[in-house]
Amino acid sequence: MEKPIGVFDSGLGGVSVLREAIRILPHEDFIYYGDNRNAPYGDRTEQEITKLTMHCAHALARCGAKAILIACNTATATCIEQIRSDLNIPVVSVEPAIKPACMQPGNGKILMMATQATTHLKRYLALQARMPNPARVINVPCPGLVERIERGIFAEDAFDDLLDQYLSAYHTMQIDGIVLGCTHYIFIRDAIKRYAAMHLHGTCTLFDGNAATVYQLKRVLEAQRLLNVGTASGNITFHTSGDPAQYAPLFELLLHRP
């Protein structure tokens, strides 16, 4: 089917999911919508996040998207049910990858780093409660990281102050895994890895839900006979509620960053 897949995030974080989507679904076209003007969502109320997300999801549907990929953990935790019930196209969304993290052997803790909103929302807490040992997961809200990433800051040593603020309480614990529960954080994996190597104990294996989400999207498209097969395609369009002169170059940079 020739129609594009709509990809949504509050800002640029969803580009990390889009990159996986391009790799796994090379014959699809994508329209990306970043609500950069209103990011970060993670410090907003549930009502605000719902209103903003619904507005963007409807805009993507009006652009002719055949399916929507919610590339924002915060939006998923806030209002995924409402998006699904409002739109009559398939909607697939990313969630913090605590399940694979909890499947690791051992008794060390799993740090789940995410936005303030995600760590408090019912849907995420219900996911945590379904883990075999929910207490193994420590939720770490990390306000401030997204703002910096939205400004185009990715350097390995540019986040030590904030990481210290949020992670210093866990310096003495055994940490088996760190879940990147916000799609923006994928772009600062190196900063998080570096901090973990310097200050934390344990393997600190990093987890994210991006590839699993895209494989789920692929299954849904296949089941609904919406998957493009064979014909070369791969057009990518970027839309932002912010200033395109500011965000389009960052979008391109992140899309092609190794």
Q: So which residues are the catalytic ones?
A: 72, 182
Please name the residue that has the structure tokens 């052997």: 105
Q: Does 73 bind ligand DGL (CB under 6 A)?
A: yes
Selected from 42, 141, 202, 209, the binder of ligand DGL by CB under 6 A is: 42
CB neighbour class for 92 (10 Å; exposed up to 12, middle 13-18, buried from 19): buried
Q: Does 210 bind ligand DGL (CB under 6 A)?
A: no
Q: What is the DSSP letter of 242?
A: S
69 near 98, Cβ under 8 Å? Answer: no
Cβ closest to ligand DGL, residue 89 vs residue 186:
186
Q: Does 40 bind ligand DGL (CB under 6 A)?
A: yes
Q: Does 142 bind ligand DGL (CB under 6 A)?
A: no
CA–CA separation, 256 and 258 (whole Å): 6
Q: Does 242 bind ligand DGL (CB under 6 A)?
A: no
CB of 114 to ligand DGL, least distance (A): 6
CA–CA separation, 195 and 106 (whole Å): 22
CB neighbour class for 48 (10 Å; exposed up to 12, middle 13-18, buried from 19): middle
How many binding residues for ligand DGL (CB under 6 A)?
A: 17
Please name the residue that has the structure tokens 């500011």: 246
CB of 182 to ligand DGL, least distance (A): 4
The DSSP H or E segment spanning 91 is strand 91-93
Q: Does 96 bind ligand DGL (CB under 6 A)?
A: no
Selected from 115, 119, 228, 240, the binder of ligand DGL by CB under 6 A is: 115
Q: What is the DSSP letter of 206?
A: E
Residue 27: what residue type?
H
Q: Does 56 bind ligand DGL (CB under 6 A)?
A: no
Selected from 68, 70, 98, 146, the binder of ligand DGL by CB under 6 A is: 146
CB neighbour class for 249 (10 Å; exposed up to 12, middle 13-18, buried from 19): exposed
Q: In 10 A of CB 161, how many CB atoms?
A: 9
Q: Does 41 bind ligand DGL (CB under 6 A)?
A: yes
**Contact region with ligand DGL (CB under 6 A), list: 52-60, 180-188, 203-211, 248-256:** 180-188
| Joined tokens for residue 180 | 């990147």
Selected from 4, 13, 141, 242, the binder of ligand DGL by CB under 6 A is: 13
Cβ closest to ligand DGL, residue 118 vs residue 128:
118
Cβ closest to ligand DGL, residue 108 vs residue 209:
209
* Residues near ligand DGL, by CB under 6 A: 9-11, 13, 39-42, 72-74, 115, 118, 146, 182-184
